[in-house]
Amino acid sequence: MTFVPPGSGWPGDPARPDTPVAHDPAEVEELAETSGTLGELTARQSVCRACPRLVEWREEVATVKRRAFAGETYWGRPIAGWGEDRPEVLIVGLAPAAHGGNRTGRIFTGDRSGDWLFASLHRTGLAVQETSVHAGDGQRLVGARMLAAVRCAPPANKPEPSERTNCLPWLAREVELVADSVRVIVALGGFAWQAVWPALRQAGYALPRPRPPFGHGAEVEISRGGTPAHLLGCYHPSQQNTFTGRVTAEMLDTLFTRANALRRL
Ligand code: SF4
């Protein structure tokens, strides 16, 4: 099997067998715009087939698998947004890992980046468990929601700019549907920082010009309908960044402690 059929019992699967499927960028736009609820939107995200290169890659990985996970069924579908329906903190990542989210069906779940991220979120009160291993493991975000800028695992962890553009309507609509409660947006890495600006604009945020550069701890005041919010930059806890010490546990904790302080302003 190349992917988990929608509505077949996978924990947290938002889709059903009759969930409409986007086959090209125009259909992504239409299905995202007409999603009236987060439930409808995440279901549609999770069955999208609009990027041929990524669909082929995610399904090939799900079929071939990594030896350590050879006995497991891989999700093999896009990773939908996950977390609270009325979050105060939005965490935007790059894209799922081939043997992480693409295997477990949940964002940042089952990979090294997620180990670092969830440990910090737990220490700072934003997640109930320090690990996130598989869908249905009891992990839950507290006052937070996670999204990926590109929802399918890309070869070499590098999405094409066109794939980021294709996926933007899913991101923008999700940001719009939770904007009333959101006070802080954390962009993990420069790619997510770039991706989130047009999504914020489409969701009705007033943004400064020119766009401030990405950096760890970068902080930008934004607003929507007169309600202030903050965009924070955070180095991505990728294996390379954590291995080289560019990102440390302390840096992540400081960042999410700051996010907690800002959401309570
Ligand atoms: S990356 Fe986004 S737009 Fe492309 S197939 Fe995956 S979910 Fe659809």
Q: Which residues of 73-108 are buried (b: 16+ CB within 10 A; e: fewer)?
A: ebbbbbbbbbbbeebbbbbbbbbbbbbbbbbbbbbb
Q: Is 151 helix (H, G, I), strand (E, B) or coil?
A: coil
Q: pLDDT digits over 104-148, tens only?
A: 999 999 999 999 999 999 999 999 999 999 999 999 999 999 999
Ligand 1 atom closest to Cα of residue 154 = 1
Mean pLDDT calculated for residue range 194-205:
96
Give the CATH number, domain containing residue 124: 3.40.470.10
74 assigned to some structural domain:
yes
Number of domains making up the chain: 1
* 153 C-alpha to ligand 1 centroid (Å): 9
Q: Tell me 7's DSSP state.
A: T
The verdict on the CB of residue 88 being under 6 Å from ligand 1 is: no
* 171 C-alpha to ligand 1 centroid (Å): 10
5 assigned to some structural domain:
no
* 228 C-alpha to ligand 1 centroid (Å): 30
- Whole-angstrom Cα distance, residue 156 to residue 39? 30
103 assigned to some structural domain:
yes
The verdict on the CB of residue 167 being under 6 Å from ligand 1 is: yes
98 assigned to some structural domain:
yes
Q: Which pLDDT band holds residue 2 (cuts at 50, 70, 90)?
A: confident
Give me the pLDDT at residue 69, please. 93
Q: pLDDT digits over 52-74, tens only?
A: 999 999 999 999 999 999 999 99
Q: Which residues span the domain enclosing 139?
A: 25-263
Given a cut of 90, whether residue 252 has pLDDT beyond it is: yes
* 40 C-alpha to ligand 1 centroid (Å): 16
Q: Which pLDDT band holds residue 265 (cuts at 50, 70, 90)?
A: confident
Give me the pLDDT at residue 24, please. 98
Q: pLDDT digits over 177-197, tens only?
A: 999 999 999 999 999 999 999
65 assigned to some structural domain:
yes
Ligand 1 atom closest to Cα of residue 166 = 3
Mean pLDDT calculated for residue range 234-250:
96
191 assigned to some structural domain:
yes
The closest residue, in CA terms, to atom 3 on ligand 1 is 167
Mean pLDDT, rounded, of the chain: 96
* 213 C-alpha to ligand 1 centroid (Å): 26
